Chain A
Amino acid sequence: MVVKRNTVVLGITLFLLAAFAWAGWANWEYRKQQAAKAKAMSAQQGMLVAADDGTLQYKSPLMDKPAPAFTLQNLKGQKVSLADYKGKALLINFWATWCGPCKLETPWLVELRNQYASKGFEVLGISAEGDEVTPSDKAGWAKDKEAIQQFVAKNKVPYPILMGGDSITASYGGFDAMPTSFYVDRSGKIIATQMGITSKDEIESKIQKALAD
């Protein structure tokens, strides 16, 4: 009788052991997959890093590297290249007409651009409307251009606004959140990035950093 009871207890114990081992393995596999997914996402989109306040911040893989070259059209249809601004400190600001935070920060960018232009600073506003407007969608482009022109006029934007930014977002790290800004120093190197809106003070401190020799 005692032997039979011991056998039952041993059987239950082994079953529990197997169940826990399986649960542990399944859990580990799940976490491994999630980690791989997060890593792949980070590799594709830049990097997520934990800031001091515990939030996730964007760290572009382009940090400390030369800003990728591009040539886009301004609102007058003229070609504008990054190389045209060689020797200047730049804020390359990707924005979109449908983006509320972009519209919120634009007056700050206008003020700061006017304040620091004489020191060799320029803003390049790059409109990236998203991939719903295809290159062949002439009506869509015309509508976007009209919305951009209205916004530029309303905010008295003094810096160049370039169209078709979606064609270069891949070379700038493949992000899709707006606004996203890249601060470029006089040597053409990206010295700071910002995804999402931040305070005017923080923008100004990054501009000053870009201007510093």
Chain B
Amino acid sequence: MSVRKAFVWAVIACCACMATAQTPFSSKSSLVDSDSRSIAGGAKVQFLFPEQVTLPAGKMSAVSLHFKVAPNFHINSHTPKDDYLIPTELKIPASSGVRLAKASYPPGKDFTLPLDPDTKLSVYSGEFSIETHLVAERGNHLVQAKLRYQACDNNACMPPKTISVPIDVIGK
């Protein structure tokens, strides 16, 4: 077989490989993947960063914690507009070696449910950050901060959830 023929066959084989790679499961699984209004449970908020911070021991230091809300979901802000709504709140357990001196939450965005356009909610969606002031004792501390939130989409709400926010804090 000439090299030219081999090349042609190779190109045909490559095309076949690519077609095979895209075909299986493309119908139903992509439908599920493309719409993140998952009815399943699980965390709707993800801690993004920082994984590690180095702070002067014993001194109050500003650390910005970044989070991401799952697409198509929102969570109540720290200051929801109704008493019955559960606010987003960050806590650091005592005896972590790190004290949460202050937490400044971003203002919520106004949001209305399609079936209730007259009621404005105060929510976070997409990415948001909490500006903290931490005081670290000297040494390495693997802090498991806790973020409590309650998520909804346009039609339904998930139970309140508390996620761990792991940060390696080095107090020097």
Interface residue B95 (Cβ < 8 Å from any Cβ of A): no
The answer to whether B40 and A45 touch across the interface, beta carbons within 8 angstroms, is yes
Interface residue A186 (Cβ < 8 Å from any Cβ of B): no
Q: How many residues of B contact A (CB 8 A)?
A: 44
The answer to whether A99 and B157 touch across the interface, beta carbons within 8 angstroms, is yes
The answer to whether A16 and B10 touch across the interface, beta carbons within 8 angstroms, is yes
Residues from chain B with Cβ under 8 Å of A23 in the complex? 17-18, 21
Known contacts: A98-B150, A130-B159, A176-B158. The answer to whether A28 contacts B6 by CB under 8 A is: no
Interface residue A58 (Cβ < 8 Å from any Cβ of B): yes
The answer to whether B29 and A35 touch across the interface, beta carbons within 8 angstroms, is yes
Residue of A nearest to B159 (CB): A130
The answer to whether B113 and A104 touch across the interface, beta carbons within 8 angstroms, is yes
Residues from chain B with Cβ under 8 Å of A151 in the complex? 84
How long is the Cα–Cα vector from A95 to B144 in the complex, in angstroms? Answer: 31
How long is the Cα–Cα vector from A97 to B160 in the complex, in angstroms? Answer: 11
Interface residue B138 (Cβ < 8 Å from any Cβ of A): no
The answer to whether A100 and B157 touch across the interface, beta carbons within 8 angstroms, is yes
Interface residue A156 (Cβ < 8 Å from any Cβ of B): no
Known contacts: A34-B25, A98-B150, A99-B157. The answer to whether A50 contacts B31 by CB under 8 A is: yes
How long is the Cα–Cα vector from A35 to B29 in the complex, in angstroms? Answer: 5
How long is the Cα–Cα vector from A105 to B112 in the complex, in angstroms? Answer: 15
How long is the Cα–Cα vector from A183 to B29 in the complex, in angstroms? Answer: 29
Known contacts: A10-B6, A32-B25, A178-B156. The answer to whether A100 contacts B85 by CB under 8 A is: yes
Most chain B beta-carbon contacts within 10 A, residue among A20, A34, A128: A20
Interface set of B (CB-CB < 8 Å, partner A)? 3, 6-7, 10, 13-14, 17-18, 20-22, 24-26, 28-29, 31-33, 35, 37-41, 84-86, 113, 115-116, 119, 121, 150, 152-153, 155-162
Interface set of A (CB-CB < 8 Å, partner B)? 6, 9-10, 13-14, 16-17, 20-21, 23-25, 27-28, 31-32, 34-35, 38, 41-42, 44-46, 48, 50, 55-56, 58, 96-104, 128-132, 147, 151, 175-180, 195-199
